[in-house]
Structure 1
Amino acid sequence: MTQKKVTLLLVDDEKMNTMILSRRLRKEGFDIDEAGDGQQAVASVLNKHKPDLILMDLMMPVMDGWEATKQIKQKFPDVKIIAVSAKVDEEFHTIEQGFDGFCAKPINFKVLIKKIEQVLNLDSAA
């Protein structure tokens, strides 16, 4: 049985964070696209292809994750987006604003994988 590869879009202005996370997620079998800010993320989703899930940093230059998520959800309300932030008190607000999940920085990789599986309804036992 062939299983479709899950595509994630990592959106973060911290290149080192993106590089490390991208490498680890690829080892887990995910296809990875990257964007350095919210504006690039919106352009990527509109012009390339819609990812299965977006990991969206909230605080970035040019366009923050809040605005990028708003624009993406207007066009693609079904796209799944997990907010990523060091400000854990923002978790409640992210759900109010249409995010599908929240992951605190610094990222605990095991927690992130569980959150991705939960948001995408992936059965890790399959």
Structure 2
Amino acid sequence: MHALIIDDSRTMRSILRRIVVDLGFDVTEAGNGQEALTALEDGLEPDLCLIDWNMPLMDGYTFVTRVRADPRWRNITLMMVTTESEHGQIVRALAAGAHEYVIKPFTADAIVEKLELLGLAAQEVPA
């Protein structure tokens, strides 16, 4: 499985990378939505995109709408990971086609839990 992490913060990309690599994902990083969209147009086929909202050149919301407008990318799971915490913003992102929404700051467990709900991480079997 492959994850595309889209965030203008190198530190945040590193944190998210560690979480998803531990789940078995290969990772590609992009510093903004335009860079990520270019990667998709160049043939990158991620199973998952973890997307910040506030970025230069192209924000995460615009990235989500562009991805959802193109049938080539209909099977990509999109998860917003952002500081945008207003209910209206969350509703807007989900209506645009994001599958999940995580508000920063977050724990690794919160990301793993969302990925489990999406079927992208193995759920631990209780002992």
TM tier, shorter chain?
A: 0.7 to 0.9
Superposed displacement of residue 121, structure 1: 5.3
CA distance in structure 1 between the aligned counterparts of 2:84 and 2:67, rounded to whole angstroms: 22
* Equivalent residue number for residue 81 of structure 1: 78
* Equivalent residue number for residue 14 of structure 2: 19
Whether 1:110 and 2:109 are equivalent positions in the alignment is yes
Please give the per-residue CA displacement for 1:59-110, whole angstroms capped at 9, x wherever unaligned: 1000001111111122222211001111222222211111111011012110
* Equivalent residue number for residue 3 of structure 1: none
* CA RMSD, 1 decimal: 1.7
TM-score relative to the length of structure 2: 0.85
CA distance in structure 2 between the aligned counterparts of 1:85 and 1:39, rounded to whole angstroms: 17
* Structure 2: runs of 5 or more not aligned: none
Match of 2:60 among 59, 65, 86: 65
Find the residue that maps to 1:120 and give its secondary structure.
coil
CA distance in structure 1 between the aligned counterparts of 2:121 and 2:109, rounded to whole angstroms: 15
TM-score relative to the length of structure 1: 0.86
Query: Across the two proteins, how many residue pairs are aligned to each other?
Result: 121
21-30 vs 103-112, greater mean Cα deviation: 21-30
* Equivalent residue number for residue 26 of structure 2: 31
Whether 1:47 and 2:47 are equivalent positions in the alignment is no
Identity rate, percent: 26
